[in-house]
Structures are given as structure tokens and as C-alpha cells.
Amino acid sequence: MSDEKKNGTLTPQKQEAIRNIQRAPEVYTIASACTRMPYVICDPDTFDDEVLVYMKLEDAQNAAKALAAKKEPVSLVKVENKQLLRFFSNLYAMGVNCVVIGQGLESEISLQLSEIVHRADTEELPEGKIRVENPELVLTALYLMQKTQRLHQGEGESEVKQLQEEVMAHFSRGRYIVAFEADKGVPLLKDKKEDSYQPVFTDVLEFQKFNRENRFRTAVIPAEKIPDLLAPETKGVVINPMSVNLQLQIHKKKRE
């Protein structure tokens, strides 16, 4: 994570907040039960896309209870000190740009993600190494899934429709990690209705969650080529099945 020498332009309050995070044995974040990912919020004033972090368990529990009272299904996740760098680094792939420490407390402070952890720009990567990420798609999918669970309460129908359109637009502009197994081809996953979907992954971390047994190899495929890979029996693709688990109705192109 960023150290004090790199934080020369930060306010004393921000520098202290970063030091407190670095020294903490653990911190707590709020996760969405809909996505199994950190709960995301868009600040109405700054339009920052934020996640919430608390230094004390009791404060995190109170924040989770307040969200649950608003019918937001959430849970708490403990992030140990040795996991902090990975946790904050992974927020880049989610499209998050801001971390709010202690929201609702007197000590509340907002930190830009880049103030907490530095990540190399694409042009700084070693020769031959590429970064496959789709942060705009992931972020929009997280908001969509968080909103979708409120539909049964008669809320947010127009917002959900708009987010669905944005998801498809972002998907069409991306490139994705596709898994395949030697002699077996691409895996297919079935939902509760027994419909088949082909998994695709927005980034390496999401693929690693799926490939815990190291059975699969990968290929990086642009969105416009994915329909050509679909088996005839599939209903479409499922984005990041181990987390956001978002199904998209995409069909194999018919040959003329």
C-alpha cells in the first residue's frame, strides 16, 4: 500500500487514516449478499463509487444493521492485515474509486483508492504482459444485482431497466477470459431452471475463483467473438459465476 513518503500531498487526516489501516490487525467491510462482493454505493454529490470499511467490528455491525433495516441484504467480511493489499488492489477491477472509512461516525473520512494503493498503469506493465479487466461492466453489474433484489418490493423497475441496458453496452466493448478444458472444451453451468450458460470472466481473479482445482486453461476473447463459441444448447453467458453471477441472453450466430 502507499506509504507516507508517497503521501506527501495528502492532508494530515488522510495520512493518519492510511497509517491506521496499515497498522490494523484487521478491518471490516460490508458485502452484498446479492453479489458476494463488497457493497457499492454511488455518492450523490461527488459521484464517487465507494465501498465501506470500518476499523472496529461493532461499528461495522451497526452499519450492516442500518442497511438491513432498509431491506438491503448484506453481511460483514473481516479483512486481515495480510489481505489488505490484495483487497484494495482488487477494487480497481471492480471499478471502485473511493473507500469510505467509518461512514456515519465522527471520524468518517473518504480516501481515493489511488491514495491507498498505487497500481501500475497499463503502459508500465512488463513487455508481453496484458491486463484483462472490465471495471465498468463489473461495477454496473454490481449496482444492477443490488437493485434487482428490490424489484419484489415494487421499487426500482426503471433503474433496473437502465442498468440492464448499460450492462449490455459495457459487455459489447470488452474482452473476456474464457475457460476451456483439454479434450472437453468449454464448461457449461446450469441454473435452477436447468438452462445452460457458458461462464466468462471479467478478470484473472474471477477466473481463479472458478479454477480452484487448476483444471482449466484460458483464452482472451473479445465480446463480438463470444457468440461464435457458444454451444447450441446454451441460453447465453454467465458473467463471473462465483460472485455477481449475472446471466446475459446471448445466442450463437446462425450461419447463412
Mean pLDDT in each 10-residue stretch from start to end of the chain (256 residues)? 54 96 98 96 97 98 96 96 96 97 96 92 68 96 91 76 96 96 90 95 96 94 94 94 95 64
Is 98 in the same domain as 145?
no
Is 235 in the same domain as 149?
yes
Residue 123 in domain: no
Is 143 in the same domain as 220?
yes
Is 50 in the same domain as 85?
yes
pLDDT at 6: 45
Is 150 in the same domain as 105?
no
pLDDT at 253: 66
Is 196 in the same domain as 169?
yes
Is 206 in the same domain as 244?
yes
Residue 125 in domain: no
Is 105 in the same domain as 9?
yes
pLDDT at 130: 76
**What's the structural domain count of the chain?**
2
Residue 127 in domain: no
Where a domain ends, among 84, 116, 148?
116
Q: Residue 46's domain spans which residues? A: 4-116
Q: What is the CATH number of the domain that holds 68?
A: 3.40.1350.90
Is 223 in the same domain as 164?
yes
> CA 103, CA 19: separation in Å to the nearest integer?
18
pLDDT at 1: 64
59-60-64 Cα angle (round to 5):
120
Residue 239 in domain: yes
Question: Does an H or E element contain 66, and which?
Answer: helix 57-69
32 burial (CB, 10 Å; 0-12 / 13-18 / 19+) is: buried
> CA 77, CA 38: separation in Å to the nearest integer?
9
Closest CA to 168 of 124, 136, 131: 136
Is 42 in the same domain as 81?
yes
Is 87 in the same domain as 173?
no
